Amino acid sequence: MSEISMTTAEAATVQPQLREVPAVRMEAVYKHYGDFTALNEVDLKVSKGERIVVCGPSGSGKSTLIRCINHIEKHDEGLIYVNGIELDRQRKNIDAVRRDTGMVFQSFNLFPHMTVLENCILAPMTVNGLSEAEARDLAMHFLTKVRIPDQAEKFPGQLSGGQQQRVAIARALCMRPKIMLFDEPTSALDPEMVKEVLETMKKLAEEGMTMVCVTHEMGFAREVADRIVFMNEGKVVEQAAPEEFFKHPKSERARTFLDQIIH
Amino acid sequence: MSHFSPTAAVSYFFNYFLMKGVLVTIGLTVAAVVGGLILGMGIALLRMSSNPLLAGAARFYIWFFRGTPLLIQLVVIYSGLPQLGIKFSVITCALVGLILNEAAYLAEIVRSGFMAVSAGQREAAWALSLSPWVTFRRVTLPQAFRLMIPPLGNSINSLLKATSLASVISVEELMRRSDMLMQEHFQILEVYAAATAYYLILTSAWDALQRRLEKHFGRSSAAKTRRVAASAPVAQASVEARA
Ligand SMILES: Nc1ncnc2c1ncn2[C@@H]1O[C@H](COP(=O)(O)OP(=O)(O)OP(=O)(O)O)[C@@H](O)[C@H]1O
Ligand SMILES: [Mg+2]
């Protein structure tokens, strides 16, 4: 493993200009829970500005994959680079990666004891050292962008699921991340609220945000994704452009998965 | 002798000597809560630590102090320790005993409060790259504290009454001073009626304060945080059924 990291380090110093540093690079990543292998030799590269949709059956390791990217889950083996920073367990690298990435969870995970605005300004103030006035301006900018500036003084519990998820997106954006990670952002929502969240995500995609989304919204995937990553039993089974993936899935597993999901 | 004198009961209620005992009871309770919370927080942190030695030590502490009567703990500290050459003043003995005992209960309450804050809250804090201190101070602690208030309230209610055990080691709190008045005047019902009234006033005042705290810290409607069950103070309540 040390050999691998040496050669990649050399490659980076020898040819810094030749290829752009990818937003995410995973090489032979393993993650175990006891005897269970949640990620099994995963390789993944995400270029800057690329929109990736990760799909696959339940328990296939999608959440684990995305959570390893910002080190909420610690990978056991292999290499992960985010914007060229290696997740090698050094505190400063982990912090740097987390500052570059925003994450949106299935269950929103807003802080229930803080107002929408307080949720949004906490990290900009305590991590980036913004003054309260600056942080408020920033928060209002992004709350306007997700179309809920009028809810700023409310508590999360007073909002609908769709509104809460849009606040969660705004909160993440307030840290001005370079990469946005979404873990089934619409799965916990009532059907009529799915659209407003997907619209928000589409807008982000149009602005060129690098995105990795775990989602079963195949309409969204078709429309927005540059590439679909299909996972099964901890492995990346296939990757292809949406067109290709939906029309001609290569693996049997992807075919049965698509049969189940598209109806 | 075969009657109850309400006027005597009222006069005991306004007895200056007894009132000073009430202040001692309040003082003991407040000091034990503050000391117990500080110590209890520390023990809860150890108990949640990933180091098995530290966690084990904390578990032993809790097991020991919740598994033995406060009365024995007080008596051992007061009359047992001098045998080993360790001697404190009466009031220090009472405080040490009450704090050590209360800390064991509060540690469990603090711990269950923190455990009830969903893992998603911590993950959201990490994802925002909040520092561990900010995560604790601004995210987990306020939510855990809100969950702790009901069991904390129960524990403090029990503690308020459990301070009466300090009378056994001759601390002149409300119970002890009632005993003293009773032995002087032999108006048993009248004296204890006054003492009972004081205990009821104190526990009711605490109840009211607790409700206000709950309201204050529960102002946001929390959709996802579960309420933690009040479990700890049961054993302590049984301690009060002393001889
Ligand atoms: N903390 C954990 N301890 C033990 N096993 C875990 C843990 N987290 C995840 N797993 C297991 O790892 C596997 C992959 O989990 P993961 O959450 O990544 O799947 P997923 O593809 O996101 O599934 P879903 O579509 O249900 O969200 C699952 O079988 C799960 O049971
Ligand atoms: Mg998942």
Give the model confidence (pLDDT) of A51-61 as tens digits.
999 999 999 99
CA distances from A117 to A151, A164, B136 (A): 8, 12, 19
Domain total in chain A: 1
Residue A143 has pLDDT above 90, yes or no: yes
**Number of structural domains chain B divides into:** 1
A172, part of any domain: no
B113 and chain A: CB distance < 8 Å anywhere? no
pLDDT category of residue B2 using cuts at 50, 70 and 90: low
Q: Tell me: the pLDDT tens digits for B5-21?
A: 999 999 999 999 999 99
Tell me, what's the pLDDT at B201? Answer: 97
User: Which residue range is the domain that position B33 belongs to?
Assistant: 8-226
Which ligand is nearest the CA of A231, by number? Answer: 1
Contact call for B128 and A98, based on CB within 8 A: yes
The tokens 């208030």 sit on which residue? B149
Mean pLDDT of B145-150: 91
pLDDT band (50, 70, 90) for residue B230 = very low
* Structural domain includes residue B144: yes
Identify which of A151, B75, A39, B74 has the alpha carbon closest to the alpha carbon of residue A139. A151
Instruction: Tell me the β-bridge partners of A179.
Output: A101, A210
Q: What is the CATH number of the domain that holds B39?
A: 1.10.3720.10
Is residue B214 predicted with pLDDT exceeding 60?
yes
Tell me which residue has its CA closest to atom 17 in ligand 1: A63
pLDDT at A1: 42
Range of the domain at A201: 24-109+178-260
d(CA A184, CA A215): 5
Compute the distance between CA of residue A159 and CA of residue A164 in angstroms, rounded to an integer.
Answer: 6
Is A91 contained in some domain?
yes
A153 found inside a domain = no
Q: Which one of B50, B118, B122, B128 makes the best mutation probe of the A interface by having the most chain A beta carbons within 10 Å?
A: B128
CA separation for the pair B156, A201 (Å, rounded)? 50
Closest CA to B234 of B156, B152, B155: B155
Residue A177 confidence (pLDDT): 97
CATH number of the CATH domain containing A215: 3.40.50.300
What residues pair up with B71 in beta bridges, in sequence order? none
Q: Answer whether residue B205 is part of any domain.
A: yes
Tokens 């302590």, residue located:
B236
- Is residue A222 over pLDDT 90? yes
Residue A162 counted as domain residue = no
Note whether A21 contacts B: Cβ–Cβ < 8 A.
no
**Pick among A100, A109, A117, A184 to test the B interface (most B CBs inside 10 A):** A109
Would you say residue A238 lies in a domain?
Answer: yes
What pLDDT does B1 receive? 53
Classify residue A100: in a domain, yes or no. yes
